[in-house]
Amino acid sequence: MSPQGEAAAAWPDSLWRSTAPDQTQHPPLNGHIDSDVLVIGAGFTGLNAALKLSEAGTSVTVLDAGDVGWGASGRNGGQVNPMLPFNSPDMLSQLLGATYFERLTTTSLNSADELFDLIRSHQINCQARQHGWLRVNHNDRSRRKSETNIKDWNAFGAGMTLIEGDQLFKLSGTQAYSSGVITPRGGAVQPLMLAQGIGAAARRNGAVIHGTSPVLSLDQQAGKWEAKTENGSVTADWVVVATNGYTDSLLPQLSKSIIPITPIQIATGPLPEDVIGSILPEGHTISDSRRIIMYARREPDNRMVYGGMGKPGPKGEITGFDWLQRDVERVFPQLKGVTWMHRWGGRIAFTDDHLPHLHEPRKGLLVGLGYNGRGVAMSNVMGRVMAERVLGADPGSLAFPVTQIKPIPMRGIKVMGMNSAIWVMRLMDYLETR
Chain segment 85-125, per-residue pLDDT in tens:
887 788 888 888 888 998 999 999 999 999 999 999 999 99
Report the sign of the C-alpha dihedral through residues 133, 356, 420, 11, in that order.
positive
Helical (H) or strand (E) element with 190? none
Give the separation between CA 36 and CA 83, rounded to whole angstroms: 33
Question: Phi/psi of residue 131, each to 5°?
Answer: -105, 5
Give the separation between CA 372 and CA 92, rounded to whole angstroms: 15
Q: Quick one: pLDDT at residue 22?
A: 85
Mean pLDDT of 144-156: 93
Give the separation between CA 262 and CA 259, rounded to whole angstroms: 10
The ranges assigned to domains in the chain are 129-188+261-350
**pLDDT at 12 > cutoff 80:** no
Give the separation between CA 314 and CA 72, rounded to whole angstroms: 19
Domain range 129-188+261-350, CATH class? alpha beta
Chain segment 17-41, per-residue pLDDT in tens:
999 998 778 999 999 999 999 999 9
Cβ neighbours of 182 (radius 10 Å): 19
Please report, rounded to a whole number, the percentage of residues in the chain having pLDDT higher than 90. 87
Give the separation between CA 340 and CA 216, rounded to whole angstroms: 39
Q: Quick one: pLDDT at residue 94?
A: 87
**pLDDT at 8 > cutoff 70:** no
Mean pLDDT of 298-324: 92
Chain segment 258-291, per-residue pLDDT in tens:
999 999 999 999 999 999 999 999 999 999 999 9
Q: Quick one: pLDDT at residue 392?
A: 98
Q: Quick one: pLDDT at residue 93?
A: 85
Question: Phi/psi of residue 359, each to 5°?
Answer: -125, 150
Q: How far is CA 258 from the centre of its chain?
A: 14
Q: Quick one: pLDDT at residue 5?
A: 37
Q: Quick one: pLDDT at residue 220?
A: 96
Give the separation between CA 355 and CA 292, rounded to whole angstroms: 19
Report the sign of the C-alpha dihedral through residues 145, 151, 152, 158, in that order.
positive
Query: Residue 127: which region, alpha, beta or left (left: phi > 0; alpha: psi -120 to 50)?
Result: left
136 — pLDDT class (breaks 50, 70, 90): very high
Give the separation between CA 275 and CA 173, rounded to whole angstroms: 11
183 — pLDDT class (breaks 50, 70, 90): very high
Q: Quick one: pLDDT at residue 241?
A: 98
Q: Quick one: pLDDT at residue 314?
A: 77
Q: How far is CA 134 from the centre of its chain?
A: 18
Q: What is the mean pLDDT of the chain?
A: 94
Highest mean pLDDT among 84-93, 309-318, 416-425: 416-425
Lowest mean pLDDT, pick from 178-187, 297-306, 375-384, 413-422: 413-422
Query: What one-character-per-residue DSSP string does 5-64 give?
Result: SS-TTPPP--HHHHHSPPPPPPPPP-EEEEEEEEEE--SHHHHHHHHHHHHTT--EEEE-
11 — pLDDT class (breaks 50, 70, 90): low
Chain segment 336-372, per-residue pLDDT in tens:
999 999 999 999 999 999 999 999 999 999 999 999 9
